[in-house]
A and B are shown apart, each in its own frame.
Chain A
Amino acid sequence: MSDTPYTIVIGLEVHVQLATQSKLFCGCSTQFGAGPNTQTCPICTGMPGTLPVMNRRAFELSLRTAVALNCQIAPFTKWDRKQYYYPDLPKGYQISQYDLPFSSDGYVEIADAKGRFKPKRVGIIRAHLEEDAGKSMHDEKAGQADSRIDLNRAGTPLLEIVSQPDMRSPAEAKAFLEELKLLLTYLGVSDCNMQEGSLRVDANVNLHLTDERGEKIATPIVEIKNMNSFRAVERALTYESARQYDVWQETRQKLGDVPKQTRGWDDTANVTHGQRHKEESSDYRYFPDPDLVPVTVAAEEVERVRAELGELPAQMRERLEKTYGINAYDSDVLVNQGRELVSYFVDVADTCGDGKVASNWVQQDVLRLLKELGTDIEAFPVRPWALADLLKKVKAGEVDTTRGREVFALMVSAGKSLEEAMQELGIEKVDESALVELCKQLIAANPKLVADVKAGKMQAAGAFVGQAKKANPNVNPARVREICLELIAAM
């Protein structure tokens, strides 16, 4: 399958900022972009004597995500302290989950509509909840550098999702992230804004290859950080796998020969660069946080969450393909646009009775117009049943596709109803007898074309259609062609 002499092995760690109004252990706002340290309180700044109290909402959102990721939900889960010193970590420890995460052993199914890889399951090792740290801002002027700390972000709830190293190409990694992001969006648990840090991705990557003696070996694992878009992830992985192969050829270093390395992705230079060798593994001295009571999750609660999940992207694609007879590529395009667009499509398809036509129009025309208008489907001026009425007319041959587009454009731009738009464009149905009369005239006026058709040059019939449309823009081109061919055959 691969044209490289190695297999890339990729595992991803995704930090998702949950869409809560307030922080994980206090009531401070999590709104992005406020002035430094304006969204802080004695609890999230780690003042002496303060105690954390868990935000139930954050836990519910995490639970919803974990269930959607097909995870096992632990009936008993506790909080641990991960200790390290850093100025943006006000308590000197981060409240996280260590050996008993609230969820584990899930999976996400990924597929590629373009067929670059076979559909597969990517395992989820665990998903756990933790608090974010603050932000350090370092003055770049060397020597007289001031470091400033903004603790607005400290205590923001993060869901850390750790995948199995199941991905075998940068494309698979990108597909995993896209599917995950789509899932999170469908669940409404995060705004997934990578620019604002709502979604942060680290990748662990190494290569599996066979050496000259036929021995299977693995290269040392490298963790790549600071990738700010899915495209960057894909490019970083592509770069890194080639780099690791070069390093392997040069040094023959195998997994275990050198400590795990952290490399940063430089998006402009298009390279990864070494950040630091961890001299020894950090000792975080995890232990259960004595300030927080363990959380118990009843089986009924998990069932309730499962029941309230609603239809998720994978199921939705399947339903669209089955119910509306559209192909995998089309269902993928529709579902990737989000729940609202899908429901628009479903309304159009149900009302006009043709899933394929509805899918074509929604994908081509609606999406193009949305982009031009810079709006979303909820604000789109043409409601689904109005589009469906237009499509019915197109199907019935009352309006041809090109004229239909003009009608639709007018409905969108001027807010006209279907009838108004058709009237304005002077579209009316051409009577069958008038159509036959017109065809007879055209045949009489074009003996050369008739001869060509008779000689088997069927494309010559197209010229009749063109002339007919010039004579009357409302004619149905397919019908004109049919009638002309019939008349010529009968000559």
Chain B
Amino acid sequence: MSLIEKSAKQLLADLSARSVSAVEVTEAYLTEIASHDAKVGAFLRVDAEGALAKARDIDQRRALNQPVGHLAGIPVAVKDILCSRGEVVTCASRILEHFAAPYDSTVVAKLKAADAVLIGRTNLDEFAMGGSTENSAFHVTHNPWDLSCFAGGSSGGSAASVAARMAPLAIGTDTGGSIRQPAGLCGITGLKPTYGHVSRYGVVAFASSLDQVGPMARTAEDAALLLETIAGHDPLDSTSVHSPVPPYSEWIEQPLEGLTIGLVREHFGPGLDEEVNAAVRDAIRIYESLGAKVKEVSLPHSKYAVATYYIIAPSEASSNLARYDGAHYGYRTDERDMLAELDAQRKALEAAGDKKAAAQLDTALVRMYRRSRSEGFGAEVKRRIMLGTYALSAGYYDAYYLKALKVRRLIRQDFDKAFEDVDLIAGPATAAPGYKIGERADDPLAMYLLDLYTVSANLAGIGGIVFPCGFSQAGLPIGLQLQAPPFEEDRLLRAAHMFQRATDWHTRRPALT
């Protein structure tokens, strides 16, 4: 078996047995990136030199029998929204195109401490806003299974890098489904942990109360390996929870016994693609054959989830993105040009005798903000800032934001109630298996529905995992989503692993030539 076909777990075994070196592993992945990424566009930047230096260091330490970290020598691709000291972190936005972070995010620090080889920074929708990775200011990420389709988003770069064997592991973030949805569309395993289980410190905020970092991998086993490296309480994040981090990868072999799986009545309504429906139902039958019981549950408020999400997330985003104003860092408009423009406008108005309009012109500072933000942000980000600003403004706060918070609580209560009867909730990850690039680019509302099956977990703060459970006739992967009560990531990973032992969907590889 070639190196890139091996799972991270197998690679770790080979590396510690010294049957392969970290440099060989890293080179194998760098070769794949060199051959495929021009077509896929998973990475924004690849750090071949840094990765090889790290790999050499690990090999040397292994040779000297010095201690090495939990992921020593395993390449990991990181979504370009997590800060890494001294490295540019763009969030796929022009506004941060040249911004180098002065510190490490906690997750990156943990990866470095675990001796992971940070191989490159992956593409995303600008500031993680979007479901397709078409909203990147730099380029679109293509689905490795069909390059005319998008990879999903916003962690589309991370998903595509793993699917195309350009990295064994990747880090994504999930605000409304941004790990699970691209994992489903790219046929890999992606886990959104419970809110507060992985530190958000150093993860450029999109919507603080929804964002969560999580692992993306080819198998549940590998996702477990990555999750146990990055999870845990962080004193730098006050929303991070004191919850133990089980040795997920050790416990994963134990199958779950007497499992009751819930099927959500509302998940199988109109709009669900027939092939997805069939694949999901086949997957449930596999669980039944493994001894699981199936029960129907209801999440009556799930129909409001997308609407609720599109109030809360943009509201928080409008606030979180206020700091990108050209004053302290990031993109600033050309000041001379801006001052000349203001001056010309003032003169024109004065010449026309319109003193009132002249008096109402921006101050230079306001014009600097206006132009910097207008030039630095893309359309989708602006759309969401506008939405959020509106929803939080005086007179609308109660009708929108406050109302959304109330519905959010009801959504959480639905889950609590459902989990009284079942251990896991199973259902589709996306309504259809893959979408053409540009297909819905002019229809933002249609794009917002891409996250239909995933957003409610973010609103409720619970964990969810997506992994492949079949393929469409056109050869695109179909994802199954499992959701569990808070801090039951162990249950999610073991259930996914049970499935992956019984099936081989997760071993399929896109035919990139």
Instruction: Give the B-binding residues of A (Cβ under 8 A).
Output: 42, 45-54, 81, 83, 85, 87, 90-93, 149, 281, 283, 285-287, 289-293
Closest to A25 in B: B238
- Complex CA gap A85/B385 in Å reads 14
When distances are taken between beta carbons in the complex, the residues of chain A under 8 Å from B238 are 51-54, 291-293
The closest CB in chain B to the CB of A54 belongs to B238
Is there contact, CB below 8 Å, between A42 and B401? no
Q: Are A51 and B319 in contact (CB under 8 A)?
A: no
B329 CB-CB contact with A under 8 Å: yes
Of B46-54, B113-121, B198-206, B410-418, the segment with at least 4 beta carbons within 8 Å of chain A is B198-206
Give the residue of A48, A93, A286 whose beta carbon is less than 8 angstroms from that of B101: A48
A-B interface pairs (CB < 8 A), number: 101
A47 touches B327 (CB 8 A): no
**A285 near B239: Cβ-Cβ < 8 Å:** no
Nearest A residue to B388 via CB reads A285
Q: Which of A46, A50, A85, A286 has the most CB of B within 10 A?
A: A50
Q: How far is the CA of A131 from the CA of B211 in the complex (A)?
A: 25
Known: A51-B239, A85-B322, A290-B208. 7 other contacts (CB 8 A): A46-B323, A47-B329, A49-B101, A52-B238, A87-B365, A287-B401, A291-B205
**25 residue pairs bridging A and B, Cβ less than 8 Å apart:** A42-B102, A42-B103, A45-B328, A47-B101, A48-B83, A48-B99, A48-B204, A48-B324, A49-B82, A49-B202, A49-B203, A50-B202, A53-B235, A53-B237, A91-B323, A92-B321, A92-B322, A283-B394, A285-B392, A285-B394, A285-B397, A286-B392, A287-B319, A287-B392, A290-B239
Are A285 and B202 in contact, CB atoms less than 8 angstroms apart?
no
Closest to A79 in B: B238
Measured between alpha carbons, how far is A91 from B318 in the docked complex, in Å?
Answer: 12
Which 7 pairs across A and B sit closest by C-beta, in order of nearness?
Answer: A92-B322, A290-B209, A290-B208, A285-B392, A49-B202, A48-B204, A87-B327
The yes or no answer to B10 lying at the interface (CB within 8 A) is no
Closest to B328 in A: A90
Q: How far is the CA of A52 from the CA of B236 in the complex (A)?
A: 7
Q: Give the CA-CA distance A281 to B393 in the complex, in Å.
A: 12
Whether B369 contacts A53 by the Cβ 8 Å rule is no
User: Which B residues are CB-close (under 8 A) to A90?
Assistant: 323, 327-328
Beta-carbon contact of B327 and A83 below 8 Å: no
Q: Which residue of the partner chain, among A83, A283, A292, contacts B322 with CB atoms under 8 Å?
A: A83
Residue B89 is within 8 A (CB to CB) of chain A in the complex: yes
B:211-239 near A, CB below 8 Å: 235-239
Interface class of chain B by DSSP: loop
* CB neighbours of A286 from chain B (8 A): 392
Which residues of chain B are within 8 angstroms of A293 by Cβ–Cβ distance?
238-239
Indicate which residue in B101, B236, B318 contacts A51 across the interface (CB closer than 8 Å): B236
Return the contact of A81 from the options B101, B103, B204, B319 (Cβ within 8 A): B319
- With A90-B328, A283-B394, A287-B392 as given contacts, are A48 and B323 in contact (CB-CB < 8 Å)? yes
Structural contact, A46 and B236, CB atoms closer than 8 A: no
Beta-carbon contacts under 8 Å, B229-276 to A:
235-239
Q: In B24-58, which residues have CB < 8 Å from any A CB?
A: none
Chain B: CB-nearest residue to A45:
B328
A27 to B241, CA, bound (A): 21
| Chain B positions within 8 Å of A91 at CB level | 322-323
Contacts of A291 in B (CB 8 A): 205, 208, 238-239
B325 engages A51 (CB within 8 Å): no
Bound complex: CA of A91 vs CA of B389, how far in Å? Answer: 16
Residue of A42, A48, A51, A286 with most chain B CB atoms under a 10 A cut-off: A48
In the complex, A291 Cα to B394 Cα: how many Å? 22
A134 closest partner in B (C-beta): B328
| A85 and B325 within 8 A (CB) | yes
Contact residues in A for B329 (Cβ distance below 8 Å):
47
The yes or no answer to B423 lying at the interface (CB within 8 A) is: no
A49 to B319, CA, bound (A): 13
Say how far B19's CB is from chain A's closest CB, in angstroms: 39
Minimal beta-carbon separation of B356 from chain A (angstroms): 13
A93 to B205, CA, bound (A): 14
Contacts of B83 in A (CB 8 A): 47-49
